[in-house]
Chain A
Amino acid sequence: MKQKKLFEVYQNNSVKISVRREWCKSCGICIEFCPKDVLVPDDQGKPIPENIDACIKCGLCELRCPDFAITVGGVEEKDE
């Protein structure tokens, strides 16, 4: 399996989801409460937006993340 980076960015045509894996503690809150079931846990319990096309950018995962480890934005937003 491919080693994941400390900071993973996933995107499609309209959504960009960033996961700061270094800060993520695998609590599962973002995955459980995503209204569109966008996220699934990887082998460490950290979120992967496997179903990214279903994302409606509601941002609930970001608001509820206790570790500032997941961010949802539009693709037009620039990387730092």
Chain B
Amino acid sequence: MNNQKNIKLLQGNEACVEGALLSGVKFFAGYPITPSSEIAEGMAKKLPKIGGKFIQMEDEIASMAAVIGASMAGLKSLTATSGPGMCLKQENLGFAIINEIPCVVVNAQRGGPSTGLPTKPSQGDMMQARWGTHGDHPIIALAPSTVNEILTLTIKAFNFSEKYRTPVILLLDEVIAHMREKVEIPAPEDIEVINRKKPTVPPEEYLPFKPDEDGVPPMANFGEGYRYHITGLVHNYKGLPTSDSQEIDAFIRRLHNKIEKSIKDIIIIERYLLDDAKIALIAYGSVARAAERTVKLAREEGLKVGLLKLLTIWPFCSEEVNKLAQQVDLIIVPEMNLGQMVLEVERASRGKCRVVPYGRVDGELINPIEILGKIREEIKK
């Protein structure tokens, strides 16, 4: 056994490429946009080396469509973009959700709305990730805060997408997408790679949207002898359009439930010095790095501050936050927006403690000192 670790200095977007390759990605379709383009560039270089395919499409709508097509044909597929492109992807993201087609979509967040701040970080798309495409739908979204986490969460994103047959959104921000850090690249044998369930019945018995007990239907890839229909219309077990209200209701509920019932598997959080905390910070992405430093500084002053770091954004870890709200007097949610995830924190806290937002939207990072300042300000109240 080789004990030598494979350590590399990688840019965040490069780590995403490495994570995707370890997950077995074989297809990438994208469109150039800052600050995500290095993912496309890495894929263009590396995918053909392993017999995979890269294509630069005419826009992000087409990229999302091509990714879904390739996934239907059996390839693990990835696309990457930023806010303006993410807006365009929403249309076909909905198609992937309703047809339960595994794929991973990276959004390296920049300031918005519109063209906004192409080269500056933001966390303004948290709610877009949840509700961007129309209709009542579930989603899984993950948010790494280090380059190493970009690699590990990219693998998680692919695994979740295959296991639950859903698109998964990986939310980066301009800072972690472009920063370089030491990354430990795991050996392929050391990581878990999940592949979609295949049907166990012959084609004539296959019902493409009939779920197993876990709520997830086995997926036959196109071209493997299983002929069936998929449509963006609400459909029955056969995949054919339905207007039967019972079938519609059961279908929409199942889409939600397959995620909801596996919430323990999907939610990834990290607790840092929370056991005795009276004040909690809840943070994610690059802000979580600052918040961790804030906790150390506050502790030096004797303040009992801890951090709950969210790696899974959607579904939201309501239970964990509710418990935390019963333990602490104050929760501060620093984020690079004017209050998005804080709304979820408030909802989950159910009035058990004070919940305070701390937002910054000037295109600059939130630093540890200013969060500490916010803590000092709030405890005086």
Touch between A and B in complex, CB under 8 Å? no
